Structure formats: structure tokens, C-alpha cells
Structure 1
Amino acid sequence: MSPSVDGRSRKLPFVVWVLAVGTFLMGSTEFVVAGLLPEVADDLGVSVSRAGLLITAFAAGMIVGPPVMAIATLRLPRRSTLVLALVVFALGHVVAALSSNFAVVLVSRVVTALATGAFWCVATVVAARAAGPAATSRALGLLMGGLTVANVVGVPLGSWLGQVSDWRGPFWVLAALSACAAAVVGRFVPDEPRRQPPSVRAEFAALRQRRVWLVLGFIALLMGGVLATYSYISPLLTERAGVPAGAVPLVLAVYGLGAVLGTAVGGRVGDDRPLATMIASAGTTTLILCLLVFLSTSPWVTVVLVVLLGATGFAATPVLGALVVRFAGSAPTLASSLSSAASNVGVTIGSWVAGVALASSLREAGPPLVGTVAAALTAVPLTALALLRATRPETPPRRPGAEAGPPAETGRASPPY
């Protein structure tokens, strides 16, 4: 291995860290409302269940937003798109903080979700190209680490701030921080010249790659299984395992730390062994979810399994993002945006089915059972990917003279998946 490649694989470019700050802010805003729903409902004159639509609206925006915004901003320079997304994100929070009308706040949540989608799909491509093929999974692991750290640090801090001041306080802080992030991104993210104008046709052509859809299916199943269980983790801990209600936030924080660790390790190992990382993550996650079904009557065993679930469930996420970018070839933006949409589709469907299972005779064992089935079904896309690897590989779409995706070099810099 050449020193340059080796050096690049050891140290990530500063721009990746800058983009990770943006994902931290955007991850914080998605669930910070969950800890403030009674205050929001009381101030805006709606029921708590209706105030919960602020979370649903953001999730819906994250399903539709990334692919729509990927196409809408395709011809903009990537740096401009990132800055614009952060500015719109900040303005959305300002509007929400100033408004006393629930409908306006709801619309502002949809707008901030669209901005989040635009930022994520472009940040993924920029980080992957900046890191190079030897460190793509590590770079995307850092970006996704921003999201997991947001759940461990950003959401609890935002909820605390909203409790001690006013529910609008976290919105003002997020608006100010995202405005600062826009200035930093504009200063440090390079505005890379493109050899040819981006092509919407090429972006859609990338979706003809079977491997792209197999990875997207894997994302939906794995994230759907993990987060369907996580959505109902509180009743599992308190009513089935007998964990005191006051200890639940601590368990969730440790779960988040496990997710941060899993993402970091998966990103580092996945650059060399992507398919093996996916198999290990899916297999251990399926086993842990299955054990939760049968062993979650013991508080200590349940806590240990929940923490392990965070680590194993998120270990494959940076690899999956890297493979989507790689398989899409010279047109990665739309495909990358669909990875975020696939995750949210999996979470939406998985949490709905888990809710039905919770209300059935399975009770608190229902959600982890649903998660087990979903995680086990990842064997289908995994098998198909392994078969494609063993036969003639697909060639990623590339227009003559188009901007190249992460190069498929031999050796450690670009391992076979």
C-alpha cells in the first residue's frame, strides 16, 4: 500500500468532521420534541396526541424529502446545497419558535425535514469523495455517528433546556447553531468542479443497478427490526423486565453509546470487509432480538441485551451507505438519498407492526419478535449480494467523461464487497 493511501485511511479529512456537526444538529431536532410534547401541547392549545404529529411530520418529510431534494438540488454546487440546507433548517426553527399556531409549527417541521434530507444526501457524497475508497465506510460512520450522538447528547440536552426554560428554547439554540454551521461549511467544504453537468437521467439510471436495491432492502429490514423494538423499549423494560421507570433514560443513554461504538467499529472494519460486516451485524442483531423475546423477564439480562442491540444494530450502517454510493457509480446522489428514505420506511412499517404486536396477546414480547423476523429477513438481500459477487459483477453506470465515483481499485484501497 502506498503511503498516501495508508495515510488517508488513518486520518479522515477535516471536512468530514465539519459535516458530522451538521448531522448532529439535524439528528437532535428529530426527537427533541418527544421530551417536550406536554409543554408544546399546552402552549399551542392542542392535545398531546395531536402534538405528536410534529414527530410524525418530520419522519414523513424524511421519507419523501431526501430523494425529492436530491433531484431538486442536483444542478446546484454541492457546497451551495449544504449551506442552503442549513440556512433553511435554521429558518424553519426560527419560524417554529416565533409561532403560536400549531399548523405553522407543523409546516415548519416538514420544511426542516426537507432541509435535513437535502443536507444528508449531499453530505454523504461529499464525505465519501473526500475520504476516498480506503476510508469511505469510516467517513460515513462518522456522519452517522453525529446522528447517534445526537440521540445520546443532543436530545436529552434539548429536552432539559425545554424543561428549564420554554419548549421554544431548544428551537432557538438549534437555529443559532445551524446558522454557525452554515458559515463553517461555506468556509471549509471545497466547491469541487464537475467535468460535466449533473444528469437527472444518469441518477435514475443508477437505480437500475440490482445491488443498489438489495442494499436498500437490507437497510429497511435491519433498521426496521432494530427501531421497531426500540420504539417500544420503555414498556419492555418497565412492565416485562421490571426495570424502574427512573432508570429507563439511563438505559437508553447507554444504548445510544453502544450505537456510537457500533457505528465507529463497523465503519473501520467495513472498509476492508463490507459483506462480512453486514453478515455479522445482521446475524448478531437477529440473535439479540430473539433473546429479548425469551429472556427479557430478567432486568439485568434485558439491559445487557438492549446495550448490545445498539452496538450490533448500527454496526453495518456506515458500510451500507458506502456500498450505495459505490454501486451507484458516477450518479450517487439520488441513490444515497434513498438510503435515508429506506431506513425511515423500515422504521415506519416496523414500528406500526410492532405496535399491533404489542396490543396482541404477545404483549411486550411482541415488538422484539417483530424485530427478530425483520432482521432475519436480511438474509434474503445478503444471499443475493453474495451470489452476485460470485458471478459476473455489475458495472456501475457511468457517462463518458462523467465525474467518477469512488474508484474500484484493487487491493486494500477498494476491497471487493
Structure 2
Amino acid sequence: MAGVGGTALATGAFWAVANVVAARIAGPAASSRALGVVGSGAMLANVVGVPLGAFAGQLVGWRGPFWALAALAAACIALIARHVPHDGPDRRAVSIRSELTALRSGRLWLTLAACATTTGGVLSTYSYISPLLTDRTGLPSSLVPLVLVGFGVGAVAGFLVGGRLGDVRPYATTIMAAAVTTVLLLAICLLSGFTVPTIVLVALLGFFGLGANPVLISLAVRFAGRAPTLGSALTVSAFNLGTAAGSWCAGLALDSCLGATGPAVVGASIAALTLIPTTAIVLTRRRHSTSPAV
């Protein structure tokens, strides 16, 4: 358990810093695109790395993949030290007190709320997609992993496309993604009895449902002002909080009269809530003349 907890702690710290580093290197004009590339790497690791690790574990034992990951992590240390630029002499350390002033930003909290609801809506459905595919769609359990791969491929593409669009129209991208995600989840509820439409809808859910994440991270880093690392760390926490709360509600819905479609109903409701903070961010934009155009 200690090893798992340590890995989780290191992973959270890594993503908090990696997002800031990527946004800083790319610059304000391309920060969402850079975060899209970083996020797509994480999704690609899930699509390719998880099944590859499971296969390797079957061949060489469960310890084999962990040793391989340790070796890759050690190699990454050298690559990061060589290629990631160091802080310049003009960069000052920010005190904890100064960083905490970022929590006064209303736009930051709106962005964090959007992070929680957009991820909670999608992953609450995705966490229980297997019962939907087997019980309602009638798909053999052996084919469910292929549908999950389709979701992952869609998510990778969504991160890349969403990041590019986010640099041009960040607010419009977040609102559009939330609206389309809600429609897709409702369509899954209605069409889950049909095989081909459901498979297509799950892939599209990966594309639109997670496509706004790099934009939201970029906005949080921007709204955090002098505390970009804190803003990035809070987005990671918001994503995880939304996933945990959404999955819990979806689990209750799965045991209700809604049955296998319950998680999708919960997901659609949570995803629709994303329209509230994203619209509020647009409305408050008028008071901030430095914000990019929608």
C-alpha cells in the first residue's frame, strides 16, 4: 500500500509541474496545444501501455513491467535534465502566502468546477461502460476491450484537436465540448440497444468528452496568476474529485431501476452542469480586457 500511495503522490506532483512547464515553454499563444500534446501522451499510455503491460506481465511475471517502468523513468530523468530549460536568474521564488492569493480568483474556481464536471460526466459513464455494452447493446465481453480502445483513440485525438482550438477560441471550445458531450451521453442512453451506433458514440465521447481538458488546464494556469503550479495542481485534484464523485453516483444509478443505462444518465446530467461555469467564465471575461477572444 505504501508503494501505491507513493506512486500516486509522485504522479500527481509530476502532472502539476509538467503542465506548467509545457505551457511555459510553448508560450501563451500555444499553451493549450502544448497541454494537448502532454495529455494525449497520457491517454496514449493508457491505450497502448496498459494492454502491453498486461501482456508483458503474463510473459515474464507481474514484476517485469514494474522493472521496465523503473528503467524508463530513470532514462526520462536524464532526458528532462538535458532538454527542459532551467529557470532563468530573473525568476523569483514565490512564497506560499503569495501563491494562496490565487485562490481569490473567481475565474479560477469556475474553471476548477468545469474540470470536475466535464471529467466526472464522461468517466462516470466510462467506468461502467462494460455492463452497458454487454447487457444493453448485446456485445460479447471479448469485444468490449476493442470498444475501449476506440474511446482511447478518440480521447487522444480530442486532446490534440482541442488543444489547437483552445489556443484560438478557448471559451467557445469549452462550451462546445460540454454541449456536445451532453448530447452524446443522452444519445448513448437512447441508442444503447443498437450495436454500431453505440460503438461510434463511445468513440466520439472520448473525442469530445476529454477534448476540452487541455484548454481548462491552460485557463487555470492563466487565472492562477503568480501561482501557476498551484493552479495546475488544483486542476488535477478537480479532475480526480469529479471522477470519484461521478463514479460513485453512477454506481448507485447502476443498481437503480435505470439499470445499465443509469451511469450514462448520471453522466449526461453532470456533463450538462459544465455549461454553467464555462458560460460564467465567458460572462466575466468582459471585465478582463487581456483575455483572448472567443
- Alignment TM-score > 0.5, same fold: yes
Offset, 1:190: 1.3
Query: Is the contact made by 1:121 and 1:333 (CA closer than 8 Å) also made in structure 2?
Result: yes
Deviations 1:110-143, CA, capped at 9 Å, x for gaps: 1011111111111111111100011000000011
Residue 351 of structure 1: aligned partner: 247
Q: Which amino acid aligns with 2:217?
A: G
Cα distance in 2 between the residues matched to 1:386 and 1:175 = 44
Query: Is the contact made by 1:152 and 1:253 (CA closer than 8 Å) also made in structure 2?
Result: yes
Structure 2: gaps of 5 or more residues: none
Q: Over aligned residues, Cα RMSD in angstroms?
A: 1.2
Matches within 5 A, 1:290-369: 290-369=186-265
Offset, 1:365: 0.5
* Aligned with residue 382 of structure 1, among 275, 278, 283: 278
Structure 1: gaps of 5 or more residues: 1-105, 395-407, 409-413
Query: Is the contact made by 2:175 and 2:279 (CA closer than 8 Å) also made in structure 1?
Result: no
Q: Which amino acid aligns with 2:128?
A: Y
Deviations 1:1-58, CA, capped at 9 Å, x for gaps: xxxxxxxxxxxxxxxxxxxxxxxxxxxxxxxxxxxxxxxxxxxxxxxxxxxxxxxxxx
Cα distance in 2 between the residues matched to 1:359 and 1:245 = 20
Cα distance in 2 between the residues matched to 1:242 and 1:383 = 38
Query: Is the contact made by 1:203 and 1:335 (CA closer than 8 Å) also made in structure 2?
Result: no
Kindly indicate whether residue 62 of structure 2 is the aligned counterpart of residue 185 of structure 1: no
Cα distance in 2 between the residues matched to 1:270 and 1:324 = 13
Matches within 5 A, 1:12-161: 106-161=1-56
Percent of aligned positions that are identical: 55
Query: Is the contact made by 2:94 and 2:226 (CA closer than 8 Å) also made in structure 1?
Result: no
Query: Is the contact made by 2:162 and 2:211 (CA closer than 8 Å) also made in structure 1?
Result: yes
Kindly indicate whether residue 122 of structure 2 is the aligned counterpart of residue 214 of structure 1: no
Offset, 1:166: 1.0
* Aligned with residue 138 of structure 2, among 242, 255, 271: 242
Could you state the TM-score of these two structures normalised by the residue count of structure 2? 0.97
Cα distance in 1 between the residues matched to 2:15 and 2:53 = 21
Offset, 1:202: 1.5
Aligned length: 293
Query: Is the contact made by 2:136 and 2:260 (CA closer than 8 Å) also made in structure 1?
Result: yes
* Aligned with residue 126 of structure 2, among 212, 230, 234: 230
Could you state the TM-score of these two structures normalised by the residue count of structure 1? 0.69
Deviations 1:354-388, CA, capped at 9 Å, x for gaps: 00100111110100000000000112112211220
Cα distance in 2 between the residues matched to 1:254 and 1:379 = 26
Offset, 1:164: 2.0
Residue 415 of structure 1: aligned partner: 292
| Greater mean alpha carbon deviation, residues 193-202 or residues 249-258 | 193-202
Offset, 1:197: 2.1
* Aligned with residue 289 of structure 1, among 182, 185, 196: 185
Structure of larger gyration radius: 1
Q: Which amino acid aligns with 1:128?
A: A
* Aligned with residue 69 of structure 2, among 162, 167, 174: 174
Q: Could you say what secondary structure the match of 1:207 adopts?
A: helix
Q: Could you say what secondary structure the match of 2:28 adopts?
A: coil
Cα distance in 1 between the residues matched to 2:227 and 2:272 = 31
Q: Could you say what secondary structure the match of 2:134 adopts?
A: helix
With a CA cutoff of 8 Å and minimum separation of 6, indicate the structure with the bigger relative contact order: 2
